Amino acid sequence: MTKEKKDEVKVPLPAIQDVKITRGVAPYAPEEQLGLYTVKRWNWTEKSMATQHATVEVDRQRGIIKWDVTIYYQYMLLYSVRKYPEKVNWSLDFIKNELDPDVGDILQVVCVNLNTISAEEKKAFLGQLSSGTLIHGLTSIGPVPPSESSQKEEV
């Protein structure tokens, strides 16, 4: 058995959660939106895409942007909900125009819980960032110059 490095972050497997939406929790939802949904923690690309779609340039010259939280959550739902009732046509258009607010709120809470890093993960990440060991050879301000022992002299 190998000993883990002290500063190594354990990355958990993607989290998945099933959510059953019933008339009791979504009293006004259309019948076709009731049923079982499967929500999965998104990957880095999906999170980046949601952030990109939610970012609107306000003033390029001054570098001012606006981050639209509604658009961010719409994409979070789009990317994180992996299975849904058979009669639901899961798409961005559906989320924007047809998703029942109770169903959307429940799914959003689950998505946020799955997609938010834990306090332990955050502490480990920030510790690595401040020590410059987040990614071998990189710091938060750029590449780490090679050490003398790692440089080979050319003959």
60-95 confidence digits (pLDDT tens) = 899 899 999 999 999 999 999 999 999 999 999 999
The model's pTM is: 0.70
Residue 155 has, within 13 A of its CA and on its CB side, a CA count of 0
Cα–Cα distance, 68 to 110 (Å, whole number): 20
99-146 confidence digits (pLDDT tens) = 999 999 999 999 999 998 777 777 777 776 666 555 555 444 444 455
What is the distance between the terminal CA atoms of the chain, rounded to a whole angstrom?
A: 42
